[in-house]
């Protein structure tokens, strides 16, 4: 990861369904907690069975999701992955590989924890959004 960035584009965060209930101030707090990650084409972003140490929002580029080596999805700008790891820090359930150069914004579980301890309404809204998407 490249480190903290001032001003994760708000348009990027607004496209993420997980954050649709957050107001402007909450989105700004979230953006301030995120770090930019630039991943070259062909690089593995997360590995199935590996540590769940981050949540990612794709700003540009594409990535392939595989489980057990089998393709499952293609992720593009506005897509996200790692939300379970954000809350639980559990092992990754899929491998995500950059198929093009990928620019993401990442949030670690420890940064998320600090964020929600300071802004409990964010945790509540994100959890409601996650629950609404359960099968």
Number of domains in the chain: 1
Average pLDDT over residues 52-69: 92
Q: Which range is least confidently modeled, 29-33, 35-39, 82-86, 130-134?
A: 130-134
Structural domain for 82, as ranges: 3-132
Q: Which residues contact 83 (CB under 8 A, 6 or more apart)?
A: 18, 55, 130
pLDDT tens digits, 86-97: 777 678 888 999
Q: According to the model, what pLDDT value does residue 131 have?
A: 75
Terminal alpha carbon distance of the chain: 32
Q: How confident is the model at residue 111 (pLDDT cuts 50, 70, 90)?
A: confident
Average pLDDT over residues 110-118: 85
Helical spans, DSSP H, in the chain? 10-14, 24-33, 83-88, 109-118, 120-132
Q: Please give the Cα distance from 103 to 63 (Å, whole number).
A: 10
Q: 98: helix, coil or strand?
A: strand
CATH of the domain at 71: 2.60.120.10
pTM: 0.83
């Amino acid at each position: 990861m490249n480190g903290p960035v001032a001003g994760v584009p708000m348009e990027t965060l607004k496209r993420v369904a997980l954050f649709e209930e957050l107001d402007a101030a909450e989105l700004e707090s979230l953006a301030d907690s995120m770090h930019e990650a630039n991943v070259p084409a062909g690089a593995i972003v997360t590995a199935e069975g590996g540590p769940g140490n981050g949540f990612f929002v794709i700003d540009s580029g594409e990535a392939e999701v595989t489980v057990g080596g089998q393709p499952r999805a293609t992720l593009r700008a506005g897509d996200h992955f790692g939300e379970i790891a954000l809350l639980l820090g559990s092992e990754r359930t899929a491998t995500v590989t950059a198929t093009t150069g990928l620019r993401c914004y990442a949030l670690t579980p420890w940064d998320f924890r600090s964020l929600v301890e300071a802004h409990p309404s964010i945790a509540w809204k994100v959890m409601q959004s996650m629950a609404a998407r359960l099968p």
